[in-house]
């Protein structure tokens, strides 16, 4: 996550919050990761069941439900309680998905799989990383360590694949850069006689420790980021949500108890444009530093 975005007013507030979190000692950050948030309905059969910052989504169908993401290890019990408090059964989860193989989104997938017996599906390029618990993460060329419980993938997904259940048809979109297998999902849902294009979009942020011009385990990282922003800017979801609450200003546009309103989830395009600029700025900075290494 980066902290120098200054384009979108709505994003500034939440990124400011994240900047504070990043400056806190590890124990305080740990608390942020475990901070809870009341679950709620986003649109139609899509519900927010995640933590305060790390988003998890439940998609309900007559043939069982789909869960996208957990939070960090230890958040599974909160997510289960959230699902039950909405009146759904955890045992009805038939498919588990994740948007990318980082510990803060797949931390308790292994546990959810054990409890539900659901099939776990992941974009093929992130499969090795979830299956070794994060050890092969490209960010650690010197050798990574396990950051979450490894989990076996039942189906490897590719760009353009479909994940279908009970009349819901998710399109898998490969949006690499943040990780090699970063994934978004789109689908159409009808609610109250109206049709909504839903985008559950992984915003393509650059991790703090990543150098775009020096990523030995991810040589295509620059091309991947650039093409992902192009692809994401062609999408125009009526409802745009993301893997992190602050990426779509969840807490700025929704407060617990607010009435159901599927039309509030706007701001997608501005968020993508802001991150694209951040990527371009970092790339230009790194290239300038490489040209003039002695000038600082
Ligand atoms: Zn991540």
Instruction: Using the mean position of ligand 1's atoms as its centre, give its distance from the Cα of residue 266 in Å.
Output: 22
pTM confidence score: 0.89
Distances (CA, A) of 12 to 4, 15, 29, 61, 182: 9, 5, 19, 36, 24
Instruction: Using the mean position of ligand 1's atoms as its centre, give its distance from the Cα of residue 207 in Å.
Output: 7
Instruction: Using the mean position of ligand 1's atoms as its centre, give its distance from the Cα of residue 294 in Å.
Output: 33
Confidence band of 23 (pLDDT split at 50, 70, 90): very low
In a domain, residue 166? The reply is yes
Q: Cα(12)–Cα(5) distance, rounded to whole angstroms?
A: 7
In a domain, residue 140? The reply is yes
In a domain, residue 296? The reply is no
| Burial of 286 (C-beta count, 10 Å sphere; 0-12/13-18/19+) | middle
Residue-number span of the structural domain to which 165 is assigned:
2-286
Instruction: Using the mean position of ligand 1's atoms as its centre, give its distance from the Cα of residue 295 in Å.
Output: 33
In a domain, residue 292? The reply is no
Q: Does 10 have pLDDT greater than 90? A: no
In a domain, residue 237? The reply is yes
Q: Which stretch of 204-213, 260-269, 284-293 has the lowest confidence by average pLDDT? A: 284-293
In a domain, residue 293? The reply is no
- In this predicted model, what pLDDT tens digit does every residue of 199-236 receive, in sequence order? 999 999 999 989 999 999 999 999 999 999 999 999 99
Instruction: Using the mean position of ligand 1's atoms as its centre, give its distance from the Cα of residue 243 in Å.
Output: 9
Average pLDDT over the chain, rounded to whole?
A: 91
State the total domains in the chain: 1
- In this structure, what CATH number is given to the domain that contains residue 167? 3.60.15.10
Confidence band of 145 (pLDDT split at 50, 70, 90): very high
In a domain, residue 219? The reply is yes
Instruction: Using the mean position of ligand 1's atoms as its centre, give its distance from the Cα of residue 99 in Å.
Output: 9
Instruction: Using the mean position of ligand 1's atoms as its centre, give its distance from the Cα of residue 197 in Å.
Output: 25
Q: Count each helix (H run) and each strand (E run) in the chain, helices first.
A: 9, 12
Distances (CA, A) of 70 to 28, 48, 187: 20, 11, 20
In a domain, residue 67? The reply is yes
Average pLDDT over residues 232-251: 96
Asked if 122 contacts 153 with a C-beta cutoff of 8 angstroms, the reply is yes
Q: Distance from first CA to last CA of the chain, Å, rounded?
A: 24
120 has which bridge partners? 96
Instruction: Using the mean position of ligand 1's atoms as its centre, give its distance from the Cα of residue 98 in Å.
Output: 11
């Amino acid at each position: 996550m980066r902290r120098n975005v200054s384009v979108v007013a709505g994003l500034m507030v939440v990124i400011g919050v994240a900047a504070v979190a990043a400056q806190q000692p590890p124990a305080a950050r740990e608390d942020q990761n475990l901070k809870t948030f009341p679950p709620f309905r986003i649109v139609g059969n899509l519900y927010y069941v995640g933590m305060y910052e790390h988003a998890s989504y439940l998609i309900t169908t007559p043939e069982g439900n789909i869960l996208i993401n957990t939070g960090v290890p230890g958040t599974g019990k909160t997510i289960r309680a959230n699902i039950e408090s909405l009146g759904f059964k955890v045992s009805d989860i038939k498919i588990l998905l994740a948007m990318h193989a980082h510990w803060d989104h797949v931390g308790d997938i292994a546990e959810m799989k054990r409890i539900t017996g659901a099939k776990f599906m992941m974009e093929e390029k992130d499969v090795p990383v979830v299956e070794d618990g994060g050890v092969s993460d490209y960010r650690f060329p010197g050798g990574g360590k396990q950051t979450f419980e490894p989990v076996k993938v039942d189906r490897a997904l590719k760009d353009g694949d479909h994940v279908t259940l009970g009349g819901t048809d998710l399109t898998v979109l490969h949006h690499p850069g943040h990780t090699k297998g970063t994934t978004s999902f789109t689908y159409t849902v009808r609610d109250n006689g109206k049709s909504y294009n839903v985008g559950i979009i992984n915003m393509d942020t650059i991790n703090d420790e990543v150098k775009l011009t020096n990523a030995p385990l991810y040589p295509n990282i620059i091309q991947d980021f650039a093409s992902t922003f192009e692809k994401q800017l062609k999408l125009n979801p009526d409802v745009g949500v993301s893997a992190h609450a602050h990426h779509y200003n969840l807490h700025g546009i929704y407060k617990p108890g607010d009435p159901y309103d599927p039309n509030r989830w706007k701001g997608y395009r501005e968020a993508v444009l802001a991150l694209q600029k951040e990527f371009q700025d970092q790339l230009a900075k790194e290239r300038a530093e490489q040209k003039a290494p002695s000038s600082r």
